[in-house]
Amino acid sequence: MSTATPPPVAETAAGAAAEAVASAAVDAKKKGKSAAGNAARAVTSPWASVFAIIMALAWTTPTVGLFVTSFRNQEDINTSGWWSAWRTAFTVDNYVQAFNGGAGNSNPMSPFFVNSLVIAIPCVLLPLLLASLAAYAFAWIDFPFRNALFVGVFALQIVPLQIALLPLAQFFQTMGVNGSFWALWLSHSAFALPLAVYLLHNFMKEIPSSLLEAARVDGAGHVRIFFQVLLPLITPALASFGIFQFLWVWNDLLVALTMLGGSPERAPLTMALNTLSGKWGQAWYLTSAGAFISIAVPVAVFLSLQRYFVRGLLAGGTKG
C-alpha cells in the first residue's frame, strides 16, 4: 500500500487555472492570426474609419443640398448654388405650396399624402396579424405536414415580385377589384407574408415552452396564450418587421402603377412625385420640398420605433 502524500487540493486547482489561462492565451493568439481576426483588425483600423466617413459624406451631401434647396426661392436657386445659401433668405412657403397648392402650383400633394397613409397602414397591419398567427401555428401547434408547409412558405421568398405582378393584376381584374385600394392591400400583404412568417416563427421558437405549459395548466387555450403570453414577448419582432414593411410600401412605385393603372384618385405619393416632377418642370423649390414631404413620415416612424427595431434584431423572445 502506497504511503505517498497526495498534492494539496489548492495547488492542484491553481495549476489547473494556470493551464486554462495559458490555453486561453494560446487560443486568443491563434484567433488573432486567423482570417476573422484579420478582418476585425481591418474593420477597426483608422483607414477603415476614414473610408466610412468619406462614404457617409458622399451619401449625405446630396441630401443636405436638396434639403437646403427646399427652403430657397426659385430665383435664388437659379442664380446660386445651395452651398452659398447662407447669403440668401430662407422660406417655408415652398412646403406650404407643395402640400396645399396655390401660388403657381395647381397640383397639391395633400390628397396623395392621405392616399399613401390609407395604403400603407393596412398593408402593415394585415400581414403582421396573419403572419403572427401563422408563425404561432408553425411554432407551437402540431398538425400534419407542418414542416413541409413551413418549407413551402419559406420557399416563396425566392419568387421575384415582378413575376407575380401580371398574374395578380389579371386575377384582380376578374374579381373586379383592380384599380382599388384592395388590390394594393392584398398584393403587398401577399408579398410580405413569407418573410414575416419566417422571421416571427424563428422569434417564437426561442420562447421557452415552459411559459406555454404554465399557461395551459392555468386553463388558457391557444387564443389566450397567443394574445396574453406570446404577443407581448414578440412586440420587438413585430415592430422590426413593421418598420421594414412600412418603408417598402410607402416607397413603392412599381406595384402601385401596376395595380392602380395610373388612377390619380388613389395614387400614392410616389406616383404623384413621378407625375408632378414633369408638371412642375424647373420649379425646383416645389420638387425638393415635395421630396422631403414624402420622406417625413418614414423618418418619423423609424425614429419613434428605433428602440424596438434594434431589440427585435438583436434580442431573443425572452429578452423582448
Give the DSSP letter string of the chain. Answer: ---PPPPPHHHHHHHHHHHHHHHHHHHHHHHHHSHHHHHHHHHTSHHHHHHHHHHHHHHHHHHHHHHHHTTS-HHHHHHS-GGGGGGS---SHHHHHHHH-BTTB---SHHHHHHHHHHHHHHHHHHHHHHHHHHHHHHH---TTHHHHHHHHHHGGGS-HHHHHHHHHHHHHHHT-TTSHHHHHHHHHHHHHHHHHHHHHHHHHTS-HHHHHHHHHTT--HHHIIIIIIHHHTHHHHHHHHHHHHHHHHT--HHHHHHHTT-GGG--HHHHHHHHHHHHTT-HHHHHHHHHHHHHHHHHHHHHTHHHHHHHHH--GGG-
- Domain 110-319 CATH superfamily: MetI-like (1.10.3720.10)
Amino acid at 287: T
- What average pLDDT is seen over the chain? 81
pLDDT-based confidence at 11, cuts 50/70/90? very low
Task: Encode pLDDT of 173-203 as tens digits.
Answer: 898 888 889 999 999 999 999 999 998 998 8
pLDDT for residue 317 is more than 80:
no
Which of 17-21, 112-116, 287-291 is predicted most confidently? 112-116
* pLDDT for the residue 17: 47
* pLDDT for the residue 3: 52
pLDDT for residue 13 is more than 80:
no
What percent of the chain stands above pLDDT 70? 80
Report whether 317 contacts 233 (CB < 8 A): yes
Write down the pTM of the prediction. Answer: 0.77
As a whole number, mean pLDDT of residues 22-31 equals: 50
Task: Encode pLDDT of 233-261 as tens digits.
Answer: 888 889 889 988 999 999 998 999 888 87
* pLDDT for the residue 55: 92
* pLDDT for the residue 197: 93
As a whole number, mean pLDDT of residues 283-306 equals: 85
pLDDT-based confidence at 125, cuts 50/70/90? very high
> CA–CA separation, 137 vs 150, rounded Å?
10
> CA–CA separation, 160 vs 265, rounded Å?
28
Sequence-separated (6 or more) residues with CB below 8 Å from residue 95:
70, 289, 292, 293
* pLDDT for the residue 37: 59
C-alpha cell of 310?
434594434
C-alpha cell of 258?
401596376
Task: Encode pLDDT of 29-61 as tens digits.
Answer: 544 455 555 655 666 778 888 888 999 999 889
